[in-house]
Amino acid sequence: FMYKKNGRFDRVCMKTPIYLDSTSELSLQAQIRQKVIDAIADGVFPVGSRIPSSRRLSDDLGIARNTVVLAYEQLLAEGYLVSRQRSGIYVSEDLSRVHVGKQAVKSAPKGPSIWSQRIARRVHHTRSFAAPAQWQAFPYPFIEGQFDDTLYPIKEWREASKAALSVGQINEWAGESGVADDPLLIEQIRTKVLPKRGIRADADEILITLGTMHALNIVSELLVQPGTRVAVEEPGLPQVRDLVANRGGALWHQPIDNDGVIVDERLDRSEIIFVTPSHQTPSGVTLINERREQLVQKANELDQIIVEDDFEFEANYLNRPQPALKSIDTQGRVIYISCLSKVLSPGLRIGFMVGDAELIAQARKVLQLQVRHSPYNNQRTAALFIQMGHYDTFTLSLHRTFEQRWIALRRAVNYFLLPYVEVSRAQGGSSLWLRIADDIDPGYLVTEAAKQGVLVEPMHDYFATSGVEGNYIRLGVTSIEEHEIKQGVERLRDVIHSLSSGAVETLDQYDGDLLEGHQIESAITNKQMVCPIAYDDLCSINIISGGKLDGRAGAAGDDADQGQWWIEGDYWCRQWSRWAWGEVGRYRVVTTQDGTVIKLFDEKGRLIDQGLLRAISEGDAELSHDQTQISRNWTQVSQPTGTTEQTD
Element (H, E) at 214: helix 212-223
* Interface segment toward its own copies; rule CB under 8 A; list 166-174, 458-466, 490-498, 577-585: 166-174
Cβ distance to its own copies smaller for residue 219 or 534: 219
- Could you tell me the smallest distance in angstroms from the CB atom of residue 70 to its own copies? 15
* Interface segment toward its own copies; rule CB under 8 A; list 349-357, 511-519, 534-542, 603-611: 349-357
Which residues within the stretch 453-472 sit at the binding site for its own copies (CB under 8 A)?
A: none
Q: How far apart are alpha carbons 252 and 460 in whole angstroms? A: 18
Which residues within the stretch 100-159 sit at the binding site for its own copies (CB under 8 A)?
A: 100, 102, 104-109, 111, 113-116, 118-123, 125, 130-133, 135-136, 146-147, 149, 152, 154, 157-158
Cβ distance to its own copies smaller for residue 450 or 573: 450
Question: Under DSSP, is residue 179 helix (H, G, I), strand (E, B) or coil?
Answer: coil
* Interface segment toward its own copies; rule CB under 8 A; list 203-211, 407-415, 587-595, 638-646: 203-211
Residue of the chain from 362, 526, 644, 646 that contacts its own copies (CB under 8 A): 362
Number of residues that bind its own copies (CB under 8 A): 144
Check residue 321 for interaction with its own copies (CB under 8 A): yes
- Could you tell me the smallest distance in angstroms from the CB atom of residue 629 to its own copies? 31
- Could you tell me the smallest distance in angstroms from the CB atom of residue 582 to its own copies? 26
Element (H, E) at 401: helix 390-412
Which residues within the stretch 9-38 sit at the binding site for its own copies (CB under 8 A)?
A: 25-26, 30, 33-34, 37-38
Q: Is the dihedral of CA 184, 189, 190, 192 positive or negative?
A: positive
What lies within 8 Å, CB to CB, of 119 at 6+ separation is none
- Could you tell me the smallest distance in angstroms from the CB atom of residue 648 to its own copies? 20
SS (H, E, C) 491-550: HHHHHHHHHCCCCCCECCECCCEECCHHHHHHHHCCEEEEEECCCCCEEEEEEECCCEEE
- Could you tell me the smallest distance in angstroms from the CB atom of residue 167 to its own copies? 7
Cβ distance to its own copies smaller for residue 352 or 587: 352
Lay out the site mask for its own copies across 40-79 (x = CB under 8 A, - = otherwise).
Answer: xxx-----------------------------------xx
Question: Under DSSP, is residue 5 helix (H, G, I), strand (E, B) or coil?
Answer: strand
Which residues within the stretch 541-580 sit at the binding site for its own copies (CB under 8 A)?
A: none
- Could you tell me the smallest distance in angstroms from the CB atom of residue 349 to its own copies? 5
Which residues within the stretch 225-244 sit at the binding site for its own copies (CB under 8 A)?
A: 225, 228, 239, 242-243
Q: How far apart are alpha carbons 595 and 610 in whole angstroms? A: 12
Which residues within the stretch 495-534 sit at the binding site for its own copies (CB under 8 A)?
A: none
Q: Within 13 A of 276's CA, how many CA atoms are on the CB side?
A: 24
Q: How far apart are alpha carbons 389 and 386 in whole angstroms? A: 5
Cβ distance to its own copies smaller for residue 211 or 442: 211
* Interface segment toward its own copies; rule CB under 8 A; list 164-172, 445-453, 501-509, 521-529: 164-172
Which residues within the stretch 380-399 sit at the binding site for its own copies (CB under 8 A)?
A: 387-389, 392-393, 395-397, 399
Which residues within the stretch 245-264 sit at the binding site for its own copies (CB under 8 A)?
A: 246
Q: How far apart are alpha carbons 63 and 322 in whole angstroms? A: 65
- Could you tell me the smallest distance in angstroms from the CB atom of residue 255 to its own copies? 25
Q: How far apart are alpha carbons 406 and 476 in whole angstroms? A: 8
Residue ranges of alpha helices (H) inside 335-389 are 341-344, 357-371, 376-387
- Could you tell me the smallest distance in angstroms from the CB atom of residue 202 to its own copies? 6
Question: Under DSSP, is residue 117 helix (H, G, I), strand (E, B) or coil?
Answer: coil
CA 115 to mean position of chain CA atoms: 35
Residue of the chain from 64, 66, 88, 94 that contacts its own copies (CB under 8 A): 94
With b for 16 or more beta-carbon neighbours within 10 A and e for fewer, the 316-351 pattern comes to bbeeebbbbbbbbbeeebbbbbbbbbbbbbbebbbb
Check residue 4 for interaction with its own copies (CB under 8 A): no
Cβ distance to its own copies smaller for residue 67 or 322: 322
Cα of first residue to Cα of last residue in the chain, in angstroms, is 70
What lies within 8 Å, CB to CB, of 578 at 6+ separation is 561
Backbone angles phi, psi at 83, to 5 degrees: -105, 130
Cβ distance to its own copies smaller for residue 33 or 279: 33
